[in-house]
Amino acid sequence: MARPHHDDATLPSFLATFILLQLLSTGNGKSDFRVLGPPDPLLAIVGQDKELPCQLSPNISAEGMELRWYRDQPSPAVHVHKNGEDMYEEQMVEYRGRTTFIGKHMVRGEVAVRIHNITVFDNGTYHCIFKEHTSHNQATLWLKVAGLGSSPRIHVTDTREKSIRAECTSAGWFPEPTVEWLDLRGQLVPSETHFSASPRTGLLAVVSIVTPQDKALRGLICSISNPLLPEKKVAETYLPNLPSYYCFLASATLGLVTAAIACAFGKQPKEEDKSEEDEDEADRGASAEAESFHTSLSLDPETASPKLMVSEDRKSVKRLLFDQDLSPSFKRFDQDPCILAQERFDTGRHYWEVEVRDRRAWILGVCLESLGREGRIPKSPQHGLWALEFYKKKHRALSYPRTCLSPLQPLWRVGISLDFEAGKVSFHNAANGSLIYEFSGLSFSGPLQPFFCLWTHDPRPLTICSVVRETEEDPESSGGP
């Protein structure tokens, strides 16, 4: 009855091997499937929906498996799907009513949970675990939540001291956005920015403040961007600045200024406002600097096409139905309905404004003094003209090739800025200083002159806005509004 000796030795070793195999196949998850998630973090936008996909490898069916998405602990979970059904007993309150299981590709092992109405609190790490009998495997996913805030609003306060204070506010950001202030030439303006998180939504509100010292500053741009998103939210503001601007409304019969109106912005001179005058006294330095930049132009009738008529004060020009009989001049545009201002610029910064009102067609800009005057003038930078055109209800920069533009709203008054040394010519909506187009990187081979053209038989004039010093009594604005 004695067993052969070798059997005693073989049985335990067989058992040991069996147990080892059992351990390998069940202990830490069966090795016959793996779960894969997206390798990179997923980007989700606040208020939108986002799917968290997980997939079996190899692509066997996930039907009959227990599928569970969770944050830190498997229970309570983000979403549980078991025995072909969604199970809500183990769901975290934060996800209640906000998840949908997507199993249309379950047979090839592809499943997902859609989270609705993403919030800041959904940001972070997720896991999805797949269980079948005693085997399981899981993957990790990362969700990066981004909130694109509201369009910023700028509020400007004239502190009545030396400086202006502008405050830019916007809400609904996540994570912390980048806030920048720029002047209208694109230069950074130093600022101070504060963030505060809403306890209910976790979204950040921004308050950013600048107190620019540069008195010549015409406008400011507040730009806010989310590091996770490509778009920026931008607001621009025009700064009330000395000196003020006026456009004189020429009467129907040119040459007689019957009414003068203050343009849509700028401080109107008020006799009773003595404190403003005192202030202006103190700011004479800054104001003088601004004045050197803001130029009062006069049209040069000697350059005017015979199709044009210049007002007596040389601030306004209109288109005639027939050519006038004029003394010939090599300075005159003989065919195109164009005219130059008499000012020549060969250095420095200059700015002027032209009221175009609802005229149906025009060109405004600067040209080399040497621009040809005979016949049709080629209108492009190669020929020494940098200009903005309005024609057939469209705005175009006369670049080469042309650049079609869409200003945010109809232009009533156009601001033209020339920086000779920097090689820049830019066009602004004078209502608030917002930039329409800029030619840059230019180098001018000679002096420049302001350029104007009046296409189409439209009797409405172009009018140059005058600069009026607030301390001076302006005889023509006394009849103003």
Ligand X SMILES: *[C@@H]1O[C@H](CO)[C@@H](O)[C@H](O)[C@H]1NC(C)=O
In DSSP notation, 280-336 reads: HHHTHHHHHHHHHHB----B-GGG--TTEEE-TTSSEEEE-SS-------TTS-SSS
| Cβ distance to ligand X smaller for residue 201 or 399 | 201
Would you say 356 and 462 are in contact if contact means Cβ atoms under 8 Å apart? yes
Copy the structure tokens of residue 248: 């004189």
Give Cα 25 distance to the centre of its chain.
58
CB of 119 to ligand X, least distance (A): 5
Kindly identify the residues of this chain, within the stretch 315-334, that bind ligand X according to CB under 6 A.
Answer: none
Q: Is 429 in the site for ligand X (CB under 6 A)?
A: yes
| Cβ distance to ligand X smaller for residue 149 or 450 | 149
Q: Is 409 in the site for ligand X (CB under 6 A)?
A: yes
| Cβ distance to ligand X smaller for residue 124 or 375 | 124
| Cβ distance to ligand X smaller for residue 195 or 391 | 195
| Cβ distance to ligand X smaller for residue 101 or 142 | 142
Bond prior to 58 in cis (omega within 30° of 0)? yes
Cα–Cα distances in Å, from 329 out to 22, 100, 333, 335, 370? Answer: 106, 80, 9, 13, 14
Would you say 365 and 395 are in contact if contact means Cβ atoms under 8 Å apart? no
**Number of residues counted as binding ligand X (CB under 6 A):** 23
Question: Which candidate, 439, 455, 339, places its Cα nearest to that of 391?
Answer: 455
Stretch that binds ligand X, among 8-16, 268-276, 430-438, 462-470 (CB under 6 A): 430-438
CA distance 115 to 143: 11
Contacting ligand X (CB under 6 A), which of 91, 99, 311, 434? 434
Q: What does the chain come to in residues?
A: 481
CB of 222 to ligand X, least distance (A): 9
Q: Is 103 in the site for ligand X (CB under 6 A)?
A: no
Contacting ligand X (CB under 6 A), which of 74, 76, 103, 175? 175
In DSSP notation, 123-148 reads: -EEEEEEEEETTEEEEEEEEEEEEB-
Would you say 477 and 374 are in contact if contact means Cβ atoms under 8 Å apart? no
Contacting ligand X (CB under 6 A), which of 211, 296, 298, 432? 432
Kindly identify the residues of this chain, within the stretch 24-53, that bind ligand X according to CB under 6 A.
Answer: 41
Cα–Cα distances in Å, from 412 out to 48, 97, 386, 431? Answer: 40, 53, 20, 8
CB of 187 to ligand X, least distance (A): 17
Stretch that binds ligand X, among 127-135, 229-237, 304-312, 459-467 (CB under 6 A): 229-237
Would you say 251 and 316 are in contact if contact means Cβ atoms under 8 Å apart? no
Would you say 224 and 206 are in contact if contact means Cβ atoms under 8 Å apart? yes
Q: Is 408 in the site for ligand X (CB under 6 A)?
A: yes
Contacting ligand X (CB under 6 A), which of 135, 193, 201, 268? 201
| Cβ distance to ligand X smaller for residue 100 or 251 | 100
Kindly identify the residues of this chain, within the stretch 334-393, that bind ligand X according to CB under 6 A.
Answer: none
State the number of CA atoms in the 13 A half-sphere of 480 facing the CB.
Answer: 19
| Cβ distance to ligand X smaller for residue 56 or 338 | 56
CA distance 39 to 53: 11
Sheet with 135-146, strands from edge to edge, namely 42-45, 135-146, 124-132, 66-70, 79-82, 85-87
Q: Is 235 in the site for ligand X (CB under 6 A)?
A: yes
Q: Is 170 in the site for ligand X (CB under 6 A)?
A: no
Contacting ligand X (CB under 6 A), which of 91, 99, 119, 169? 119
CB of 101 to ligand X, least distance (A): 19
Q: Is 244 in the site for ligand X (CB under 6 A)?
A: no
Stretch that binds ligand X, among 186-194, 231-239, 414-422, 441-449 (CB under 6 A): 231-239
Q: Is 303 in the site for ligand X (CB under 6 A)?
A: no
Q: Is 237 in the site for ligand X (CB under 6 A)?
A: yes
For 196, residues 6+ apart whose C-beta sits below 8 A from its C-beta are 204, 205, 207
CB of 368 to ligand X, least distance (A): 31
CB of 78 to ligand X, least distance (A): 14
Would you say 470 and 274 are in contact if contact means Cβ atoms under 8 Å apart? no
| Cβ distance to ligand X smaller for residue 21 or 107 | 107
CA distance 261 to 98: 59
| Cβ distance to ligand X smaller for residue 36 or 286 | 36
Question: Which candidate, 237, 249, 242, 228, places its Cα nearest to that of 208?
Answer: 237
| Cβ distance to ligand X smaller for residue 370 or 409 | 409
The site string for ligand X over 130-169 (x = CB under 6 A, - otherwise) reads ------------xxx-------------------------
| Cβ distance to ligand X smaller for residue 132 or 236 | 236
Binding residues (CB under 6 A) for ligand X: these are 41, 59, 107-108, 117, 119, 123-125, 142-144, 175, 201, 235-237, 408-409, 429, 431-432, 434
